[in-house]
Each structure stands twice: as C-alpha cells, then as structure tokens.
C-alpha cells in the first residue's frame, strides 16, 4: 500500500495555497513559478505512480514555461516513448493538484490507486530536467520530495531542453531493445543528430553562417554544445545567450516574439546582413522560426508552415527517387492557424489533415501516416516515421546508384529528426540539410508560396468557457449566433478566413484572421474581435 507516513510528512512541507485552482492543460501545469511548489511535489508522486502503472518504465518530468515570461513556470509529464502524458491522466493530475489538505490529498491518492489499479509494489523510475528559469531549482527540489515520498528512483538530467528530456525518456526505455533510439545521455543526443547531419552535408558548398536567437534560454546552452559537433558542416553565430541576466528570457526575442510580432528581435537588427538567414528558438528550445533579410534589408518570416512545406516536399522527393512512393505515404498535419496559402499549396500535392491546437493532437494524427510531417504555425513540430516505414527504410535494397544515394539520405534524415516531439535544434538541422541540398537561400525557400497576411488578436472575455468549437476549432457552436455573424463578415473579404477559439493556456479568447491584403486582414480581425467582445 501507499507509504502514507512519508507522503504525509513531506506533503506538509508543500502545502497547497488555498485560493488557487490549478489545471493540467495543453502544456501541463503552467502559471507563476512562485505558486507551483505544491504542484511539483504532487507531480513527483503522480510520476512515480505513472511509472508503477507502466511496470517501472521511466517517466519524464519537464519543468519549464517555454516561451512564457520569466516569472512563469510549469511542469509536464512525458510518457515512456517520449510522447505527451496520456490524456486520461491529465484530469487525474488536475484533481490531485487541487485537493486542499494533506489528508484529502492522501485519500484522493488512495482512491486513485484503487480505481486505476496501480500495483504499488512495482518499481518507479523518473527522469527530470528544468529550463533556466530562476524558480526552477526550488521547484525541482519539491519534485524530488515527491519522488522521495514514493521511494522512486530519480535521475536528474539537470538544465536542458524539453526535447532532450523527451529524447532521454525514449532512449532509457528502449535501451538494448530492437527499437533502440540512441544512447541515453545528452552526448548520445548530440552525437546522433550531428553525425547524421554531418554525413548529409558532405560535399555541399560552404554555407554562410546561420544566426541563432537563443531567447536567452536553455537553447543557448544546447546550441553551444551542438555547435562544437558542427564545426566542419555548419557555421553558426549564437545570439541572445544571456541565461543569467534577470528578466532577459524570452524578452523581445525568441520564436514566439518573432511569430507574434512578425518582426526581427531588436537585438538582431544590426547583426543580420542582407540575404542572411537566421532562426529563433523559444525558451525551452522546442519551437523554431526562421527568417531572412532580403537585399533591401526587408524582414521575411519563415514559420512552421514554411518548414512543413520545405521538409515534406524534400522527403516526398527522396521517397520517390528511392522508388518507394507506393509503400511510404507521406502526409501532413496542420491546425487552423496554418496559413491558407500553405494549406492550398500542400493539399495540391499531399494528404493534409487539420486537427485542434496542441502537440498531442498533431503528433497523434501524424502517426496515422507512414511518414507524417506536422508543424504548428508557431514553429513546433517534427516528422514521425511508423515502425514499418523505418524498417523498410533500413532494409530496402536499392537497384541504382541514384536510389542508393537517396536511400542513404533518407536514413540519415531519420537520425537527424527527433521523433519524440518538436525540437528546435533538430528541426534547424533538418531545414539546413534541405536548404543545402536544394541550394536554397531564404528567398528561394520563401517563394514556394506567398503567405496571406494574417492577424492574431487576444480578447479578454468574462468567461472563455462558453466558447465551444468544432471542426478542428474552425467553427464555433456556442455562443449562439456568433458563428453565423462571423461567416457573414468573412464573405465580404477576398480570400477571407477567420475563426475564434478559447485559449488553452491563457484566460483569453483568440481571434485569427487572414485575407488578401494587410488592411483587409486587420479590418476583419478587428471586426470579428468586436463580435466576440
Ligand atoms: C501550448 C501547446 C502548443 C500550442 C499552444 C496554444 C504543447 C506542448 N504546447 O503551448 O502546441 O500551440 O499551447 O496555446 O502542446 P493557446 O491554446 O493559448 O492558443
Ligand atoms: Zn516551448
């Protein structure tokens, strides 16, 4: 049975604040770092229970608030294959985080163990990490108390990126099996990605240096280490690496800043030359946005949709050259936020599916293809290969030298990609491979299709929970007549499209609009926001 005495003693050190209601949302628990102590303690216990439930498989815990401001923090659990926590456990997490007292917490745990049929005698293993936020160390200590209360075996992966933590979970759990995913260390991660990348770059002409905006976060540490493995293949310039400067994290820099403001971080204005390309990571290095300046020093953004297009087209080409088009179907997954032009371009070439916002939805849908490419417009995404697809790629016998070359490329691409979750550094290497192989600069890449102007606005409403969507969040069914009014407005704009959805991470409603001109787009967004308000 549960070690009730240990739990009680340690739980009393991490009391739940009375007035706060926590929610395990799209990105785990996320709020101000200073109110998360009890949550981390309880997540430690929950992670141990999840591990026991899965027969001692290692569970991951990541302490981060990604692109959010520095005072925020958060925590999410990672399941054994490196994917997001199974959704049925999200609500258990919410219930356990909100029980008011230690006694109530313990009885909720006892209920949970019983109804979920968890065998407490099984081992529990948890690997955990945090980003660079100042609130991180204390939160990790609270998590460790939770693990201690359950006598779980903990492995501290230190300060690292979210995708590296996902990689570690997957490699630990597949160690020595035929599904082995690499060596279960950070060095194993860097070696796996970079050696595949370096092979793909052999014989390619030298590239102009890539400027990497590290958002003053943990990506700076990882990018620095990675760059040492790339000395002969990819010159990089690391910017916004001030991880110890208070207030600097994600402040006027990083992938979210660039995507939302559609402009260069001010800190890069004097650094980026004409026709030079750069990219921005977010605060935990799982999102990536590219950009370049044209010859007139005009800024152009290359977001998740542009990455999807570039990567999916390249993989399709390789598969075709190898002669496996019939056996390896490549498909794309997007959300409603994908630019209409990207959806049009892709749909003319590939199967494209639209799903609700949130990585788990995209990831799951992508797994339905042999090779699934998914990116959110905000730059989070990756490529997933089904097990049969991987087996085929590594066992297929090509019949011509051209096929052999393409197959080897495909094999190396598989190893550059972090299939567990969106990974800014892995995605960056992937983009660089395609650019090098196609001899593309930013402009050539950008020219595949032209983005429709788009606008995202937040509306603060008394109760966002009355907003209910269907059709992958593209249509509202509540409140009442709102969707009809939106539909009516949209018809007045050439190529107009607009939708409204409640945020899963903030207490606001988001309005998205696109149309053929900037002015029309802003007008549409403004008028739809007016309807919502
Ligand atoms: C979270 C999601 C991200 C999504 C965003 C939308 C994960 C790991 N992250 O950050 O994919 O784009 O939420 O936020 O799923 P919103 O619901 O506030 O618009
Ligand atoms: Zn992130």
Domains defined for the chain, CATH in brackets: 4-159 (3.40.120.10), 187-301 (3.40.120.10), 304-422 (3.40.120.10), 454-532 (3.30.310.50)
- Which residues neighbour 355 within 8 Å (Cβ) at sequence distance 6 or greater? 333, 334, 335, 361, 362, 364, 365, 472
CA nearest to 98, candidates 4, 31, 5: 31
Predicted pLDDT at 505 = 83
Predicted pLDDT at 533 = 84
Quick one: residue 250, left, alpha or beta (phi over 0 = left, psi -120 to 50 = alpha)?
left
Predicted pLDDT at 171 = 98
Nearest CA, atom 8, ligand 1: 27
360 alpha carbon to ligand 1 midpoint, in Å?
10
Predicted pLDDT at 207 = 83
Nearest CA, atom 4, ligand 1: 358
Q: Which positions of the chain have pLDDT values less than 70?
A: none
Q: Which numbered ligand comes closest to the C-alpha of 249?
A: 2
326 alpha carbon to ligand 1 midpoint, in Å?
34
Ranges of H-type helices in 150-217: 162-174, 186-201
505 alpha carbon to ligand 1 midpoint, in Å?
7
Counting Cβ atoms within 10 Å, is residue 49 exposed (0-12), middle (13-18) or buried (19+)? buried
Predicted pLDDT at 522 = 97
Q: Which numbered ligand comes closest to the C-alpha of 382?
A: 1
Q: Which atom of ligand 1 is nearest to the CA of 337?
A: 12
Predicted pLDDT at 375 = 97
Neighbours of 185 (CB within 10 A): 15
How open is the CA angle 171-84-215, to the nearest 5 degrees?
A: 85
Q: Which atom of ligand 1 is nearest to the CA of 504?
A: 17
Q: Which protein residues touch ligand 1 with a CB less than 6 Å away?
A: 26-27, 357-359, 376, 378, 380, 503-506, 510
Q: Which numbered ligand comes closest to the C-alpha of 76?
A: 1
445 alpha carbon to ligand 2 midpoint, in Å?
24
Catalytic residue of the set 66, 227, 342, 498: 66
Nearest CA, atom 12, ligand 1: 358
Predicted pLDDT at 234 = 96
- Pocket test of ligand 1: the residue of 87, 359, 363, 364 to mutate, having most ligand atoms within 8 Å of its CB, is 359
Query: CA 530, CA 477: separation in Å to the nearest integer?
Result: 18
Does the annotation mark 395 as catalytic? Answer: no
Q: State residue 440 phi and psi, 5-degree precision.
A: -95, 140
CA nearest to 416, candidates 406, 428, 404, 405: 428
pLDDT tens digit sequence for 437-452: 999 999 999 999 999 9
- Which residues neighbour 195 within 8 Å (Cβ) at sequence distance 6 or greater? 229, 415
Q: State residue 118 phi and psi, 5-degree precision.
A: -95, 130
478 alpha carbon to ligand 2 midpoint, in Å?
30
Q: Looking up tokens 């995404």, which residue turns up?
A: 381
- Pocket test of ligand 1: the residue of 504, 510, 512 to mutate, having most ligand atoms within 8 Å of its CB, is 504
């Amino acid at each position: 049975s549960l070690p009730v005495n240990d739990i009680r003693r340690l739980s009393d050190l991490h009391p739940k604040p009375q007035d706060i209601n926590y929610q395990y949302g799209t990105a785990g628990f996320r709020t101000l770092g200073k109110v998360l102590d009890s949550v981390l303690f309880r997540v430690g216990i929950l992670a141990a229970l999840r591990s026991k439930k899965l027969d001692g498989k290692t569970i991951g815990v990541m302490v981060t608030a990604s692109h959010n401001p520095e005072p925020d923090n958060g925590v999410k659990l990672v399941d054994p294959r490196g994917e997001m926590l199974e959704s049925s456990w999200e609500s258990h997490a919410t219930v356990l985080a909100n029980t008011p007292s230690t006694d109530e917490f313990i009885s909720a745990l006892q209920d949970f163990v019983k109804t979920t049929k968890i065998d407490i005698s099984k081992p529990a293993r948890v690997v955990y990490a945090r980003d660079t936020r100042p609130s991180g160390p204390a939160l990790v200590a609270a998590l460790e108390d939770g693990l201690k209360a359950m006598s779980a075996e903990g492995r501290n992966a230190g300060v690292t990126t979210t995708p590296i933590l996902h990689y570690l979970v997957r490699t630990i759990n597949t160690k020595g099996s035929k599904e082995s995913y690499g060596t279960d260390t950070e060095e194993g991660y860097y070696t796996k990605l970079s050696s595949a990348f370096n092979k793909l770059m052999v014989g390619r002409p030298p590239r102009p240096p890539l400027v990497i905006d590290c958002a003053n976060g943990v990506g700076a540490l990882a990018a620095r280490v990675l760059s040492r493995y790339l000395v002969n293949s990819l010159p990089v310039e690391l910017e916004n690496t001030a991880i110890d400067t208070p207030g600097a994290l994600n402040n006027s820099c990083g992938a979210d800043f660039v995507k939302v403001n559609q402009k260069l971080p001010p800190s890069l204005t004097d650094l980026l030359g004409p026709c030079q390309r750069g990219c921005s990571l977010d605060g935990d290095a799982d999102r990536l946005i590219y950009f370049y300046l044209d010859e007139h020093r005009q800024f152009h953004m290359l977001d998740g949709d542009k990455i999807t297009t570039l990567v999916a087209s390249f993989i399709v080409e390789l598969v075709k050259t190898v002669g496996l088009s019939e056996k390896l179907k490549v498909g794309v997954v997007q959300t409603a936020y994908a630019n209409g032009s990207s959806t049009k371009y892709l749909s003319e070439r590939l199967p494209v599916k639209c799903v609700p916002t949130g990585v788990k939805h995209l990831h799951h849908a992508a797994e339905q293809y042999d090779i699934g490419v998914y990116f959110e417009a905000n730059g989070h995404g990756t490529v997933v290969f089904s097990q049969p697809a991987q087996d085929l790629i590594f066992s297929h016998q090509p019949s011509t030298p051209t096929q052999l070359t393409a197959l080897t490329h495909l094999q190396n691409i598989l190893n550059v990609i972090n299939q567990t979750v969106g990974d800014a550094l892995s995605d960056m290497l992937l983009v660089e491979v395609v650019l090098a192989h196609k001899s593309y600069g930013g402009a050539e890449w950008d020219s595949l299709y032209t983005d429709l102007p788009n606008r995202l606005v937040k509306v603060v409403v008394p109760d966002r929970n009355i907003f209910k969507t269907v059709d992958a969040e593209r249509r509202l069914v509540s409140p009442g007549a709102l969707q009809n009014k939106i539909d009516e407005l949209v018809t007045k704009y050439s190529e107009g499209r607009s939708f409204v959805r409640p945020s899963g991470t903030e207490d606001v409603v988001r309005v998205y609009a696109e149309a053929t001109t900037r002015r029309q787009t802003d007008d549409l967004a403004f008028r739809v926001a007016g309807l919502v308000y």
